[in-house]
Amino acid sequence: MSNPNSHDIKVLNGLAEGLIDSADGYAEAAVETADLRYRDLFLRRSEERRQVAADLQTAVRGMGGHPEDEGSILAKAQRAFMDIKHALMRDEASVVGSIESGEAHLQARFDRALSDEALSATTRETIRRAHAAVRTGQDEMHVLRRSLEGRQDADNPLYPQ
């Protein structure tokens, strides 16, 4: 027998997978950074992502589905690339830029899900609540990256004073 909620479950599981990828990316960034302020920020953001993923997993269980509990292989490969890039460049802006890129991808997944008219109203509301946390994280990483880039420019001896 097919689950009548199978489409909602599939969408929620896809979003949970993306959130787990995001949480793993933040945790890895926390290990990569030498700055304690950024480490705390990344760890906090990682925990927030795990909590949002847990909320979606609870919704999947409530619909009779089996929740996604792992990230994607592609995201693991991207984090390995980030490790190499950071080792070569040794700059916080590159790490934050990689995170921001991942956040933009996650944001796009949520946008697609919210525009899916086949989802139930309950699932759409669950996604809408989770989306707020994703948007906040993306905005924060964007501001941080711009700040780091600005600081790099200001430290450059060719930067006009």
Yes or no: say if 106 and 134 are a contact pair by the CB < 8 Å rule: yes
The residue range of the domain holding 142 is 6-154
- In a domain, residue 161? The reply is no
Q: Is the pLDDT of residue 123 over 90?
A: yes
**CATH code at position 39:** 1.20.1260.10
Average pLDDT, the chain: 82
Does residue 99 form part of some domain? yes
Q: Which residues contact 109 (CB under 8 A, 6 or more apart)?
A: 14, 15, 18
Residue 1: which pLDDT band, with cuts at 50, 70 and 90? very low
Please give the average per-residue pLDDT across 40-68, as a whole number.
94
Evaluate whether 100 touches 141 at the Cβ level (below 8 Å). yes
**Structural domain tally of the chain?**
1
pTM assigned to the model: 0.81
Sign of the dihedral defined by the CA atoms of residues 9, 12, 16, 22, in that order:
positive
* % of residues, the chain, pLDDT over 70: 80
pLDDT at 84 over 50: no
Instruction: Flag whether 159 is in a domain.
Output: no
